A and B are shown apart, each in its own frame.
Chain A
């Protein structure tokens, strides 16, 4: 079957596929690729040993740590490289939880945290408390503070993301930190790092390199100097006491190089992406019975989420893919659990027919126009099949 816009498998002359899922994973930044290839040959040895190759590896690791610290305006000794963003989230959240085991029992988190936070919170002995969000997906600082105050046995830690990974809404992290008082704050900054500045006020925070254009398999755990953090997992005898396992030195260095590059180009790329997202928000809103969600202003620059009434999310993603457009969805039918996105549910917005579009640093206006040209036809086609 062919149509005016393309074929299932683009042949010669067909438009190349457009990847619009950077919020799941950003393509490797060219600066990271160069550094990674060089570091593979230089950073293989055990950075804890005392011979020459080990000193080279150690130097690269320390360089990576300093570069990341510089980009995030933190101290190098506050930076730990972990095996993934999820690993950094687990260590950050559970380490603060363990550090306050004598003073509390309960983890408090927003209802729209990433599943890595939710899984870690539910892994503890206590019953975590979720704090509701408004229709835009934003939590109120005083409600987080109130939940901590009322938490059974006392709150150990409050988890508030820097910005939401599905809808882009930025959270009032600094105001939450102020409202919390002595309860430590964990900030999952995986969705925002390299895209908007890291907010302050946290005792621990986490980021993920493949979301800013670094390689996968590198997370960054930040623990504020003086924060009461205790390793929640078995100890190891590595360079960094907060991590375990042999350091992936080349990948850490490549992640740092990518972060330096994206921070340097952030003003230009962010402004361009934000304008393209405005264009998508306006274009998509013109399709009948479509709800664009999340904050229009105070949001991440590179992503937008919307839901199409009467449309099956899986059918939508599959048909867009057939037309060369790669997007994500939070609809139940696209999840292995058959549960709709807990983020959309917490916001009280339509969960079916959901699409998240997120731009890479290379996404062009032409890519966006192509998406906007295809979407109405795809939605119309799926609705026509069910007679609506």
Chain B
């Protein structure tokens, strides 16, 4: 008995030590570890960056995830790159012009850009890269950036295998002139040019590498701010060094980038606090202990989280009053402030704020009260609509299942939603069905759900990346909603005459959003933020919710 007591006491002591880990954190630069030099080539003005997931691919046409895009852009420039505000600025392209009908773009390339093997970056490199992106043999997951989104001539036909890839609407007029032909004018075309799928690939080098292309420093070429010098597939740590031959090398202040993949959030924060990292992501539970720190930063991640009601399969959800009641009953402020606590912003629009800027330079969704009469928190209006809906349906109570990802944050949000709904709407029961994300997505695409908590991240800096979703028959129009007026507006903005008139198009996009909100096609909840810690001696790291999430070209690390 004595033995057992003793062991219990000891176990308890250990547990206390463990939970104690969270408490002491405010002193940030304890230079305790002498173990910081993890790679031979690391120098003191390298930026030490934490990644949550490993790079999936450094092949610009094969990559699909934010981490890979970030790293590819560290060492590759496209025709355009992002400036600090997320606007497209000239990079490999020195200048550009578009024809009056908006169907032809001509890019003039700078002559001082070289690959890290000394060869010049030419228009042919872009042609080769883009052709790879639509090549059915490559089967790039992002080929739709060229076809549906970029509207590049013949892209769709090539992807389907009907036309040879040499017919793609991109030609090298000479070494430094690239001409792009479009099927329809695309107002946001320049902002696509910084997306890695549109990056150049040197054909001769690619053929030399064969299957091993982009799997090691020897099989990668750089034309950007950094050169990768230590990397292997799925590496948990890798390194890039400043590219001295970069045409804009004077701008680059960092000596290199030192990436470390850390999947455990406690380890990441401790590594940051011990000075091994200059930047790290912080998870929701840790935010509370660091949010008063000067080095804490909530960065917009662009993702809109929303609830999709299945109006097609569930008769009760086809009732507009029921849907309005549900959206009025959601207290979005409480979800962000009491549950998520990571800086996520309550959202009342179908297009989230802070990723798409209009012709006048303002944020498309800056005004979050635009649809206040159909989407806001109002318990009275909720109860009223609920009563009306129930009597229209001739019932006194309703029960819905809501499918939710098994991740931490969505589960917490779903719990609160359930509570808010059941409190505000008498007679409503919501059952949460937790599923792995892949299963949840599949169920929603199959229409096999009643309510679904889901999210969408922007692919390009235009409201269409969201509004395109609710067109009749779209894969991600989960509620199988259909409105011919809406379809017509989207069609007009995509391929119609208005597609070139930026201001009129912008106005039309608001009209489309109005329809989505007026019919409560989705219940927007919040725009996700990532909580980051960034050391106070680091400045100039640029965060973007679209395409390239973090850009280090202009970052400075002071000693």
Chains A and B come from one and the same complex: no
| B→A interface (CB under 8 Å) | none
